[in-house]
Structure 1
Amino acid sequence: MSRFFSAASTPAPSSSAMECALGGREFAQYLRVHLPDLPERVTEDVWRALPVIARAFGHASGHEAMPVIDQELRTFVRGLSDLTGPPEEQARTHRALGRSAYLHGIGPDLLQSAYHAGARFAWRRLADVARTVGATADQLYGLTESVLATAEELSAHALAAYTDLSHPDADIMRGERRRLLRVILAGNGAVAPEVLVQAARTAQWTIPASVACVVLDRPWEAERQLSPPLDPDVLSDLHRPEPLLILPGPDRPGRIERLRRGLRGMRFAVGTQVPVQEAAQSLRTAERALALLRNGTFSDLDHVRCDDHLPALLLLSDEHLARQLVGRRLAAMDELERDPRERLTETLLAWLTTGSHAQAAVRLRLHPQTVRYRMRRLEELFGRRLHDPAWRFEMELAIRADRLLSRFGEGPPGGTAL
């Protein structure tokens, strides 16, 4: 919950409780004071909604002893209202819950249903409190997102532990999946279909219509972190210097967001979406995007999805050639001071993309006369080339490449910093 209530929101001035309630940890404390029995009440809701679980655990209300999983369900509900604990501790708790479910004969679908029900009931009670302290509609929406995201992340840990116990040869299966990952990447379109089908069958993996490769920014430190909660169909090799995932159906709603939450702040790049046979190509684009993410080209992002940045990746696919293009096309501006050069380059790009002085003025929010003056200066520098379609195309590429290159490292000679 602290994820949501740490977001910038203006408290309602009519509620003094709001001032102490919407500050993240303060809100968690507020919940503990005003809903001290939240875990117990939501756990009872889950038992009533899913009586088969109650029967499996011999649950009874009153003074009878609660089973181990009952206490862990309470811990889960408490985690929904206070996310200030270390992620590793939360992961261990819910992996223990998954193991308990297996030992008590609860199936994975029912286990997941318990998480969904717990999230639903917890949200209702938390929303009542949020409304009481004057939460806005946006804050209630954020509360919903936070509760659902938390339940999804924690249930992934529980299901992963459940799977480990339900498959006696879980280590063997993980090895088969890593081997399948290597088979897919080694192929580059040349793997015989029957080899891919056999490897997928052995790894119990359904071949999807499309995949994307994902590379992580740094090694996954197993001695300090548990494995991230990933969707069951994701292939992974976290032991590489740059850990690697193969993500089926990356365009599914919420797929990338779930991955981002599971990786808990680690930067990553998602390669192009391709057929399985072209996964090696997706890996190359992901590696290139990760390099650009590291050197500052995408400085405002914690992850890059290549399909959303194809022009930038194309322009910077060969940095040497990009710098050559910039140097040659913008050479006429080399003698200009930095500020005049930036103004002229900005105006030229606006004119190239809009096709007219008037539209360029609107885009730049300048007086049309200012744009006409700058265009006369550009005509002095470039002459009749301004009216050559091929030259204009190359100049637009050069300016855009110059902008990208200026975000990291040493820019090209005389490079702009637009």
Structure 2
Amino acid sequence: MSGSFHAAPVPPPSSEAGDGLGDQSLALYFQSQLPDLPERVLEDVWRSMPEVARASPHCSEHDAPSAVDPRLRAFVRNIADPTRSPEDRARMHRALGRSAYLHGVDPVLLQSAYQAGARFAWRRLAEALRRSGATADQLLRATEAVLASAEELSGHALASYRELSEDGTEALRRNRQRLLQVILAEPGSVAPDALSRAANAARWTVPRSIACVVLDRRWETGERLSPALDPDVLSDLRHPEPRLILPEPDRPGRIDRLRRALQGMRFAVGTRVGVAEAAQSLRIAEHALSLLRQGAFRDADHVRCDDHLSTLLLLNDEHLARRLVERRMAALERLETEPRRRLLETLLAWLSTGSQAQAAVRLHLHPQTVRYRMRRLDELFGDQLHDPAWRFEMELAIRAHRLLPHPATSLQRTD
């Protein structure tokens, strides 16, 4: 930007050319004939791009863009001084790049400011050169000098900007991983204010509810989540079982965007909980993913735990679920597979609807067929069919039997 005022690279015009500059260098000529050039160009840039003005390391937030602060005058004069070393100029423009990053100036805008500075400077320099009687060759050399200086010094500023941006991105990633660890810590294992401090460092607004998500496989080196993923989702892809924290999981479109971001990978979304209960949501999601891998949710590519609470409850302890199946279905063990399947199907329909007629409608069977099967069930179970506690446990047992990934003892799956 202001570095485009530095015309030192232009060699002095030859006295043999018969021009009015003699052996003076253009840089010294500009210094003597245009002493206010840096400030004038700077005012032009500041007036057209006030966001860049506020990012200057020598400009306070309340400085008016049209009124150049004396500290800024000194800063610009030092940059425009042809006697300053390239290292000094580079250092100053790197400082401007750092300041632009810290003030949130877009790098495209920063580069545009340098280009605008070059244009403004060139208009004023060209006017002075024409008044001096400079030749076309001298005019061309001056143009090249302005453009080369602007390109060189904007390069220093943008390089400094990019370094900070990359460092900031990496620091933000680390802070977000730290926040995820704080959220998933067991209650009482972190300081009371640890969450608020970690959230501030990660630029994350603590939501009213979250759900933990676990992925089906390890994340490969170099893989990245799709941009479809919402920016407030926290992730730890380096964990042996990669996990995410999904804020406000009931928000419309959340799960659809998650599926697109994961590009076909299977996953489980834990129960919706407050942030303080995140560890519990994670445990349930891990259990659901294990069941998903075993086929408990048919051919689904993901499972949302809040939609399958009864299944998760039934299979929360597989050993107990199998014991329930074995105990309640012992009377059916001696039957062949197909007769047993038909009786269990009818019994579940009857337990669910409360009547033989409704069971027949649900199963699309003739009522006589259901009556026959119920007589056979009465022979097997007798008065237990009329015991409310037994009926409740039997319904649970049949549903668990259908969900269990492997047969319980000698019983086989019914579907």
Shorter-chain TM-score above 0.5:
yes
Equivalence for 1:363: 362
- Contact kept, 8 Å, 2:326 with 2:408, in 1: the verdict is no
Equivalence for 1:196: 195
Give the one of 104, 107, 113 matched to 1:103.
107
Alpha-carbon distance in structure 1 between the residues aligned to 2:109 and 2:406 = 58
Mark the CA change 1:268 to 1:337 in structure 2 (over 3 Å): closer, same or farther.
same
Equivalence for 1:226: 224
Q: Give the TM-score normalised by the residue count of structure 2.
A: 0.60
Mark the CA change 1:375 to 1:231 in structure 2 (over 3 Å): closer, same or farther.
same
Percent same amino acid at aligned positions? 67
- Contact kept, 8 Å, 2:325 with 2:408, in 1: the verdict is no
Alpha-carbon distance in structure 1 between the residues aligned to 2:269 and 2:188 = 20
- Secondary structure (helix, strand or coil) at the match of 1:257 reads helix
Alpha-carbon distance in structure 1 between the residues aligned to 2:188 and 2:311 = 26
Equivalence for 2:411: 414
Equivalence for 1:374: 373
Alignment of 1:68-107 (within 5 A): 102-105=106-109
Alpha-carbon distance in structure 2 between the residues aligned to 1:234 and 1:259 = 10
Say if 2:299 is the partner of 1:300: yes
Mark the CA change 1:255 to 1:316 in structure 2 (over 3 Å): closer, same or farther.
same
Alpha-carbon distance in structure 1 between the residues aligned to 2:371 and 2:316 = 35
Equivalence for 1:179: 178
Alignment of 1:267-346 (within 5 A): 267-346=266-345
Query: How far apart are residue 191 of structure 1 and its match?
Result: 4.4
1:245-271 Cα deviation digits (max 9, x unpaired): 000000100001001001101111000
- Contact kept, 8 Å, 1:269 with 1:286, in 2: the verdict is yes
Query: How far apart are residue 196 of structure 1 and its match?
Result: 1.2
Alpha-carbon distance in structure 2 between the residues aligned to 1:164 and 1:403 = 58
Alpha-carbon distance in structure 2 between the residues aligned to 1:236 and 1:318 = 29
- Number of equivalent positions: 260
Alpha-carbon distance in structure 1 between the residues aligned to 2:163 and 2:331 = 65
Alpha-carbon distance in structure 1 between the residues aligned to 2:209 and 2:324 = 35
Alpha-carbon distance in structure 1 between the residues aligned to 2:224 and 2:194 = 32
Mark the CA change 1:326 to 1:291 in structure 2 (over 3 Å): closer, same or farther.
same
Query: How far apart are residue 227 of structure 1 and its match?
Result: 3.2
Mark the CA change 1:189 to 1:360 in structure 2 (over 3 Å): closer, same or farther.
farther
Equivalence for 2:19: none
Equivalence for 1:255: 254
Mark the CA change 1:227 to 1:103 in structure 2 (over 3 Å): closer, same or farther.
same
What is the letter of the counterpart of residue 286 of structure 2? E
What is the letter of the counterpart of residue 301 of structure 1? A
Aligned-CA RMSD value = 2.1
1:279-314 Cα deviation digits (max 9, x unpaired): 000000100011011111123110110001111111
Mark the CA change 1:416 to 1:266 in structure 2 (over 3 Å): closer, same or farther.
closer
Q: Give the TM-score normalised by the residue count of structure 1.
A: 0.59
Query: How far apart are residue 203 of structure 1 and its match?
Result: 1.2
Alpha-carbon distance in structure 1 between the residues aligned to 2:225 and 2:383 = 61
Alpha-carbon distance in structure 2 between the residues aligned to 1:358 and 1:298 = 30
Query: How far apart are residue 394 of structure 1 and its match?
Result: 0.2
Alignment of 1:124-273 (within 5 A): 168-188=167-187, 191-223=190-222, 225-229=223-227, 230-273=229-272
- Contact kept, 8 Å, 2:176 with 2:234, in 1: the verdict is yes
Mark the CA change 1:417 to 1:279 in structure 2 (over 3 Å): closer, same or farther.
same
- Secondary structure (helix, strand or coil) at the match of 1:236 reads strand
What is the letter of the counterpart of residue 270 of structure 2? G
- Secondary structure (helix, strand or coil) at the match of 1:247 reads strand
